Structure 1
Amino acid sequence: MTHQSFPPPPINPFERLHVYDGLMMNSKRWLLAHEYHRRRQNVHYQSLNQPGIVWGLGVRLIDPPAEAPAQFRDRRWVEIQPGIGIDVEGNLIIVDAAIDRKFRIATPAPLTGSLTVYLVVSYVDPYNPERQENSELLREWIRFDERTDPPEHNQVELCRIELQPGIVKLEKPSDVLFPNGNQLDFRYRMQAKARPEAVVKVAQMKQNEADYDNGRKKLSNKIEENLSYLIQSAAALYPSLQGETEIGKVSLQTPRSVTYYDLLYLADSQVVAFEEEEVETVRSYLRTGGIVLIDSPSYNEDFADIIINDIIKDELEIDLENWQEIKREHPLRSQPFLFGALPHIEGQQIELWSGCGVILVRGALSSAWGLDEEYLRDRNEIRTAQELGINILHFAWRRRQITQLMQ
């Protein structure tokens, strides 16, 4: 997983206690005064950082505890190790050695296929106005849970397990980077760290189910894989920009499904088969500041002319500029990586046109974002293709951001 997008803090004004001479202090006012500072701290953390694990919070397999009933004495027991985490609101999650950290994975095994179970921890506010506490101190508490849906924003993932049919016997993975079914999987734990400057959201157009043969399905899966490689590379090559982990699948028949994304990837075969309703969806999407990336991996001149003249120029009423006409200071050329000439991939130079939110690429750029089938592609070729791809992602995010500021 490369990045999970977390919500910004809610836009709610702050109110604090009005203090004046003669003010009588009671528990309600005392809590109000302290809640103000606590909320400011949470909003500050949420504005600049993202949640995750600070230290520790490992998970180890254990034998059933002696006090467990006979029906629960199985190989489903784990123990969470001491450690510290922070949730999305900046609340500290402290798991110390003194508390009971044993936990049994109770989710039933699936009858067929597999079922992913997430082991999570969350912060629990100890204050309960309906329950009077005699102690002067209230411990801030935590809660362990298991769930079959991805963790909610206020939960921190400790590990996940892919349950298999049959009797569940949890195991340590023989290869921690490639765990199998019923084995502890730590690969998706998130570390607490600074929030990236930008999170770009990418989608591809769903294939028409009626035309979704095996060949097109493989092509769609390969495109999704290469887009994922590109987003993965952004975290390492340009950490200020990260991409949402999941590549969206949208239909241009439902315009609302597209508006969430900053960049919409379209294959050339999809563009030449546009219906009028889909063209209108693209027009509307471009007005929101989105970027449409049209990928034409072949060097077929006639195919490119159809896209440029019949679709982009006539239908969308957009005039494209070729790479040589694009300004020196244009983000595609300069942000964050500087490009003079376009790269050569598989022995041929990439061609690129851009205008009014539409980018047309001809050549094997997208295929070079990932691995080829024979693992023969040169590392420098992959890196150069990824850097140009990151420029496209950055341009998509920046254009969308500025456009949204005016709406």
Structure 2
Amino acid sequence: MNDFPYPEIKSFERLQVSDGLMINSERWRLAHEYHQHRQNVQYQSLFLPGIICGLGVAPIAAPEDLPSKFRDGRWVQIQPGMAIDLQGNFIVVPTCLDFRISTIAYDNEIEPVYLVLSYVDPAKLKRTNANEILVETFRVNEKTDLPLDTDIEICRITISEGQLTVQKPVDVFSPSISQLDLRYRLQAKIRPQNSIRIACFHSQKNQQIAISEYFCALGQSLPSLAPSLSLIEPISSLDINAELTLNHLSGYHLIYLTHAQALSINESTQIALREYTAIGGVLVIEAAIRNSQLANLLEIQNELEAAKNKLRKTMQSQFVNGQQNVNMSDQSSIQAELQAELDAIAIEVSSSTESLLSSLRGCLPMETPMRVFSDLEITHPLRSQPFLFPNLAAIVEQPIQILTNGGVVVILGELSSIWSGQSEQALTREIIRNCHELGINILNYATRRYGMHNAMLVNPQNQKLDPKLADDQRRITNMVEKTA
């Protein structure tokens, strides 16, 4: 999703009306602009821009009443419909509109062409007559550059050198040259409560592209699984070799690193990352543990947990069926042995995990002790919001462990590649869905932490407020309506 800004935070001003007030055109205009501005702010605050209905595009034959040089295959017809733009203005196309694409491609290049609509305020147009009724209108533009934030894209088409004949695509999800492309039309919708901006470090170009694809795949699941959350695209890239400062990082809710990248960041970036987590940012470090000692220990631990749970269900079933005396002593003995083995393996898992984390402590803000996922409170956002995870054992077939100290989340195992289905594991739909839900919990945790930290920051602009304005603001805030 694009990063659509909220409206400017500014007080509303309206005309003060009293008996005997003379109404002229200026005051009438002020009264109407107040309501229009209030409506725009409401729609911009609660909705995202896009097409409401209609506004289809279809290739048509050229009108016969035109000169021959314009009767070619470049004509399309825009269907009636409605849209809302970034500023909350309604764009209404009441009737069909014929439009000719005039862009020409040269030198064997493939040129993208965008058809966009934009709102036109009739009050700002030069009028030649004294008509009392103004019709709010629109403008159709043909662009070769990316559309502006205030534009509503209704169609795009790629053209090549030579004669152009606009066609309907054979496959609407994979249009070819000279075929209409409607894949990038945005639909108007309710604004998500939280939008998350992510950055990842790149040491190799292909690796950065892969990580971006993983997060984009996770973002595609948000409208269905967590519509209150949206991912801002594209995923930003940070140079692992650059000496970064807090100014480079503070705009992101979450920053992703691999274990190898975390070990190779320079001292300046290390300081910046410490400052970043202090203001509410979240670092996610993913470390592959396949074929390692920790992976083997976690796999054994999962198998023991599964055996313990199976035995407990068997004992409960026998108790319900009145068979509590059947092999109960043997089963209790086996249960005690399983618990003893679990306690022993837990110590080894903790030791192996600690040795892996010790390599990160010198370069990341990990002074606060790391807590294992299963040791977090069941109400902790990572475990419960929006999806509840009692443990990680049943999520994927490969062992996985997650630890956090608040600002740093360490993932030991393979998670991000599963979001896009590109893992080397034999993935089932259930595994992919579980990993999507766990990833969404991480995104939700990052946005909530970042938002609450920023809500407690003092706005530097307020510190520079004019003293008179500050006094007026305090006076208004402290006013209490008196009642008789």
282 and 114 in structure 1: CA distance in 2 versus 1, 3 angstrom threshold: farther
1:262 and 1:290 in contact (8 A); partners too: yes
338 and 196 in structure 1: CA distance in 2 versus 1, 3 angstrom threshold: same
375 and 74 in structure 1: CA distance in 2 versus 1, 3 angstrom threshold: farther
Alignment partner, residue 445 of structure 2: 395
Q: Normalization by structure 1: what TM-score?
A: 0.90
2:124 partner SS: coil
How far the C-alpha of 1:189 sits from its partner, in A, is 1.1
Question: Is 1:222–2:210 an aligned residue pair?
Answer: yes
Which one of the candidate residues 25, 37, 40 is aligned to 2:38? 40
Structure index of larger Rg: 2
2:36 partner SS: helix
2:360 partner SS: helix
Alignment partner, residue 143 of structure 1: 139
Alignment partner, residue 174 of structure 1: 170
Which one of the candidate residues 350, 357, 363 is aligned to 2:400? 350
Which one of the candidate residues 268, 283, 289 is aligned to 1:298? 289
Alignment partner, residue 318 of structure 2: none
Alignment partner, residue 51 of structure 1: 49
Alignment partner, residue 480 of structure 2: none
The separation in 2 between residues aligned to 1:139 and 1:202, in whole angstroms, is 43
Which one of the candidate residues 340, 349, 357 is aligned to 1:308? 357
Instruction: Look up the equivalent residue of 1:27 and give its one-letter code.
Output: S
The separation in 2 between residues aligned to 1:80 and 1:192, in whole angstroms, is 18
The separation in 2 between residues aligned to 1:379 and 1:64, in whole angstroms, is 49
Which one of the candidate residues 261, 269, 272 is aligned to 1:270? 261
Instruction: Look up the equivalent residue of 1:35 and give its one-letter code.
Output: E
1:38 partner SS: helix
2:270 and 2:364 in contact (8 A); partners too: yes
How far the C-alpha of 1:166 sits from its partner, in A, is 4.4
1:138 partner SS: coil
Report the structure, 1 or 2, having the larger helix content. Answer: 2
The separation in 1 between residues aligned to 2:439 and 2:127, in whole angstroms, is 57
Question: Is 1:335–2:385 an aligned residue pair?
Answer: yes
275 and 159 in structure 1: CA distance in 2 versus 1, 3 angstrom threshold: same
Instruction: Look up the equivalent residue of 2:388 and give its one-letter code.
Output: L
Question: Is 1:186–2:236 an aligned residue pair?
Answer: no
The separation in 1 between residues aligned to 2:356 and 2:67, in whole angstroms, is 68
27 and 60 in structure 1: CA distance in 2 versus 1, 3 angstrom threshold: same
Identity %: 41
1:203 and 1:261 in contact (8 A); partners too: yes
The separation in 1 between residues aligned to 2:207 and 2:134, in whole angstroms, is 57
Deviations 1:149-185 (A, max 9, x none): 3322221110112334544332210011221222111
The separation in 2 between residues aligned to 1:6 and 1:224, in whole angstroms, is 20
1:84 partner SS: strand
Deviations 1:34-59 (A, max 9, x none): 11111111111111111111111001
Deviations 1:87-129 (A, max 9, x none): 12221111011x7x22222333264554332211011000138
Alignment partner, residue 405 of structure 1: 455
How far the C-alpha of 1:221 sits from its partner, in A, is 2.4
How far the C-alpha of 1:346 sits from its partner, in A, is 5.6
2:262 and 2:363 in contact (8 A); partners too: no
Deviations 1:278-301 (A, max 9, x none): 212212221231111111133446
More displaced 10-residue stretch of structure 1: 287-296 or 385-394: 287-296
Instruction: Look up the equivalent residue of 1:235 and give its one-letter code.
Output: P
The separation in 1 between residues aligned to 2:393 and 2:443, in whole angstroms, is 17
Alignment of 1:3-402 (within 5 A): 3-97=1-95, 101-109=97-105, 111=107, 114-128=110-124, 131=127, 133-207=129-203, 212=204, 217-251=205-239, 253=242, 254-255=244-245, 256-299=247-290, 300=292, 308-312=357-361, 315-318=364-367, 319-344=369-394, 347-372=397-422, 376-402=426-452
315 and 374 in structure 1: CA distance in 2 versus 1, 3 angstrom threshold: closer
1:272 and 1:306 in contact (8 A); partners too: no
366 and 343 in structure 1: CA distance in 2 versus 1, 3 angstrom threshold: farther
1:34 partner SS: helix
Report the structure, 1 or 2, having the larger strand content. Answer: 1
The separation in 2 between residues aligned to 1:240 and 1:338, in whole angstroms, is 17
1:344 and 1:350 in contact (8 A); partners too: no
Instruction: Look up the equivalent residue of 1:77 and give its one-letter code.
Output: W
Instruction: Look up the equivalent residue of 1:222 and give its one-letter code.
Output: A
Q: Normalization by structure 2: what TM-score?
A: 0.76
Instruction: Look up the equivalent residue of 1:263 and give its one-letter code.
Output: L
138 and 392 in structure 1: CA distance in 2 versus 1, 3 angstrom threshold: same
Instruction: Look up the equivalent residue of 2:259 and give its one-letter code.
Output: D
1:251 and 1:257 in contact (8 A); partners too: no
Alignment partner, residue 304 of structure 2: none
1:262 and 1:400 in contact (8 A); partners too: yes
How far the C-alpha of 1:148 sits from its partner, in A, is 2.8
1:345 and 1:364 in contact (8 A); partners too: no
Deviations 1:16-75 (A, max 9, x none): 111112211111110111111111111111111111111110011122334545444432
Q: Any unmatched runs of 5+ in structure 2?
A: 295-351, 458-484
2:114 and 2:157 in contact (8 A); partners too: yes
2:263 and 2:363 in contact (8 A); partners too: no
1:111 and 1:166 in contact (8 A); partners too: no
